[in-house]
Structure 1
């Protein structure tokens, strides 16, 4: 059991949160929720021992292992993937090495009766007791199983970590964390760089093999599948629900309606009391009553209503000219990088107004296909945009393409047309740009802020073909809902690459699966494909276990 006691964090006199108390039990699976800036990541860092609170403390058993996966980190560039992941067993390897060293020292010493000799024997017994008390583990098999489950091929295991992107290096860190079999796992946005199949594996691990878990995530399906408790950080305090995220939303709505009712009753009471004070102030016979009621109002704790996004703004893509019958057509498409074949003899036709998803493990060619469609790479075969296709393209590196010298407001104002120009501030507010933030230059924004701004810009451009490559990695739940609603109303053609299952659901009627150097067309909704895919993958997990 891990206890969080009277936790408080203050910055320059401002309170982020205070008097936070809760207990993490052995098998709790907790979603840590709240709007951006509420203090979720700060609280997680304090529990992990990475940050010191202004007040309060975290109490845990002496031998408890707390493992933390932050949003951004780097692995050692001098190790292979397998070597880096094996560092999860570093403490065990150190115990084994220390036992070997001590035993060798005993072999060479002859002072059998000395205190030093007896101290070495005592130390050997202590270390040996800890070492042999551990479950017998086939370390190599465990490391390989974790890495394979997170999407690495067997041939990747002995490549240098420096050869992999930041997302893949994050998976190595995740594997190291899971292999430690900690008492508490802390995960801050673990699914941002993980494909659907690996997320399924991670869910199975957290549900069936992990002990306690606290997770921050904008992937609604992921947190619904793995959590049984939700702790909301809001307005400097927490609310603790014994419920997963979807159930918590219902309970939260009920809580807020009760708050509103209590607030209104209290305001009515305050108004009536103030009216009495104003009417009888200065009246000698009522002096004691007036003073009593004035003191009562001074001491009254005003009921607060939890923050909520009350904006009713619904974004829609502006109308665009009608495209030809088939905006995207590919025939006999092959892409190679030297001897590496990404996909071979792929055929694809996407009709006007159709919404399709590209799915498959990372590295199977989804983004490569999009680059072929956009004419950004060379390839064999044919791939072309159809008549009058006006393309809006959101690439994974879209943030880097923004003009760094423009302000946030100027970036959006450049592309906004018609009535929406009068609502630019509201639009930016839905994507967490408000106040002074709209006058900040793009070059000063964080990576996540740039991604959100690029998405706002795309939402306002008149296009009839939308191609989105992992658009939700840096969007919070509200922003994703705004984008999803806009896509559902979009009457053009949509090609979507995403690992976020909740975001994908209901958004496409056809699926192109990238697998084993092929592009396989499935005439089924993304919901049906994901359900079938999950079942098949869980069967694979059972076979590997």
Structure 2
């Protein structure tokens, strides 16, 4: 369907990738993988047509619709949510309006025999043929289904997009993409700002309703559930696997083992021939053999072993004093903003050493509860911390709170106290900030680097109650695995808000569900909770037909 033909990208004397060829077929669901900096987003932009390759081309049939959702975007500020989402059908509305204008001209004109009159009739006929050939769709209903599926309430539809956060604006753009029913959907980190229910809805749509899909994501469960093919960008070339991400990891390891074996055999072959050449160089009777072997070695293509990212985040939480039996106790807690009730009469207690998850749609009160526990907002009822509780808090926007004008070193130096100040370079080294990295300004760091830096600040003091609100946004799969291992080893109490099911798996032993102004306690793991609720969640959302 769409052909990527021999594309290459070069800049400043560096080749990002070259001689890349592959075909995207109808109904392919592709994970585009590779380490940070390998060129995944660049590849996606070239396919989307928003960036040009240095060489090569992307071919597609006429009238092919490609929809692209970048990591960062801005919607207009002067339109409502429903108006912005309805732009998905702007081509339909444009045809209809153009027909109305032309029909009015025909009603008022009397030059029936003129060339201009006949030209208008031809235009109306052509537009009408295309317009009435379109599927009979209730566009308003389609817009409503998509917006509700992605977490918007009916009361949100008439609000201006400027009133929403970047994550919610991303959902509006995602709704526009889904409504277009494109031939190919390109998604660059689509799950970073949406809750678990919306991720489940998106998965269901992409698997059962979408045509071809290509996605870049660090959410392992998401890409495993939706993809059947993995294209890996590494060392300037690609490898194409007819497998989802987990299976691809096994195949990639097998490939590397074969490469290592072939490389070792080739090196032995080269060494044996070099020994022969050195031994018989200058021997008249062996001249032809020596020359032949020299030419053969010159033409030999050296086997390359795929690079492995050996930079490893090493993370462990420093030991803290033992807290009281119940680090968090909530009794008859209610929070309102004017007439809007976030939650009402909530009772909750969290035992020392428990690892719990707060789940629920965005806007149901998860972050508000965290602010209540931290004493940052006024509430009705009581919300108290237990004896000797030392809190470490990672906010959802923690990385954005860093000072862009400070260097990496200054950021940590400013937060460190006591003995920690003498070992700042070692601390930063554990978080993959080495050499010149520590002198970089925060403003030039990637999202993942900023998240790691914010995590460094969290670890400067020992804590026994960790509260993490979406800590994995912008972290790559390897960093998420290391953070998860550290949290599993953490001997304190953990409150975790995350939409990343793979990250939550094996971490959370109890779930507090925020729904309909209530907080419901579930004595089960996040996996059991989601499995029990998955079908109900999908039924509750009126999916696009």
Residue 241 of structure 1 is matched in structure 2 by 241
- How far apart in 1 are the matches of 2:216 and 2:336? 38
The structural deviation recorded for 1:4 is 0.8
Does residue 428 of the first structure (1) align with residue 431 of the second (2)?
Answer: yes
Residue 494 of structure 1 is matched in structure 2 by 494
Does residue 107 of the first structure (1) align with residue 107 of the second (2)?
Answer: yes
Residue 17 of structure 1 is matched in structure 2 by 17
The structural deviation recorded for 1:103 is 1.3
The 8 Å contact of residues 317 and 461 in structure 1, kept in 2 or not, is answered as no
The 8 Å contact of residues 313 and 479 in structure 2, kept in 1 or not, is answered as no
Residue 26 of structure 1 is matched in structure 2 by 26
- How far apart in 1 are the matches of 2:148 and 2:284? 84
- How far apart in 1 are the matches of 2:458 and 2:167? 24
Q: TM-score, normalised by structure 2?
A: 0.95
- How far apart in 2 are the matches of 1:466 and 1:313? 19
The structural deviation recorded for 1:315 is 2.6
Does residue 224 of the first structure (1) align with residue 254 of the second (2)?
Answer: no
The 8 Å contact of residues 317 and 460 in structure 1, kept in 2 or not, is answered as no
The 1:419–1:315 alpha-carbon spacing in structure 2 relative to 1, beyond 3 Å, is farther
The 1:311–1:17 alpha-carbon spacing in structure 2 relative to 1, beyond 3 Å, is closer
Match runs of 1:74-93 below 5 Å? 74-93=74-93
- How far apart in 1 are the matches of 2:448 and 2:95? 42
Residue 536 of structure 1 is matched in structure 2 by 536
Does the residue aligned with 2:136 lie in a helix, a strand or coil? coil
The structural deviation recorded for 1:389 is 1.1
The structural deviation recorded for 1:364 is 0.6
Q: TM-score, normalised by structure 1?
A: 0.95
The structural deviation recorded for 1:276 is 1.9
The 8 Å contact of residues 4 and 57 in structure 1, kept in 2 or not, is answered as yes
The 1:143–1:405 alpha-carbon spacing in structure 2 relative to 1, beyond 3 Å, is closer
Residue 308 of structure 2 is matched in structure 1 by 308
Q: Give structure 1 stretches of 5+ with no counterpart.
A: none
Q: Give structure 2 stretches of 5+ with no counterpart.
A: none
The 1:200–1:400 alpha-carbon spacing in structure 2 relative to 1, beyond 3 Å, is closer
- How far apart in 1 are the matches of 2:443 and 2:132? 55
The 8 Å contact of residues 356 and 509 in structure 1, kept in 2 or not, is answered as yes
The 1:423–1:46 alpha-carbon spacing in structure 2 relative to 1, beyond 3 Å, is same
The 1:250–1:315 alpha-carbon spacing in structure 2 relative to 1, beyond 3 Å, is same
- How far apart in 1 are the matches of 2:423 and 2:504? 27
Does the residue aligned with 1:519 lie in a helix, a strand or coil? strand
Residue 462 of structure 1 is matched in structure 2 by 462
The 8 Å contact of residues 409 and 424 in structure 2, kept in 1 or not, is answered as no
Residue 453 of structure 1 is matched in structure 2 by 453
- How far apart in 1 are the matches of 2:112 and 2:79? 42
The 8 Å contact of residues 404 and 443 in structure 2, kept in 1 or not, is answered as yes
Q: Cα deviations across residues 137-179 of structure 1 (Å, max 9, x unaligned)?
A: 1011000000000000011101111111111011000001110
Residue 509 of structure 2 is matched in structure 1 by 509
The structural deviation recorded for 1:304 is 1.0
The 8 Å contact of residues 510 and 524 in structure 1, kept in 2 or not, is answered as yes
Does residue 168 of the first structure (1) align with residue 168 of the second (2)?
Answer: yes
- How far apart in 2 are the matches of 1:323 and 1:308? 42
Residue 154 of structure 1 is matched in structure 2 by 154
Does residue 186 of the first structure (1) align with residue 186 of the second (2)?
Answer: yes
Residue 371 of structure 2 is matched in structure 1 by 371
Does the residue aligned with 1:326 lie in a helix, a strand or coil? coil
Does the residue aligned with 1:123 lie in a helix, a strand or coil? helix
The structural deviation recorded for 1:417 is 5.3
The structural deviation recorded for 1:5 is 0.5
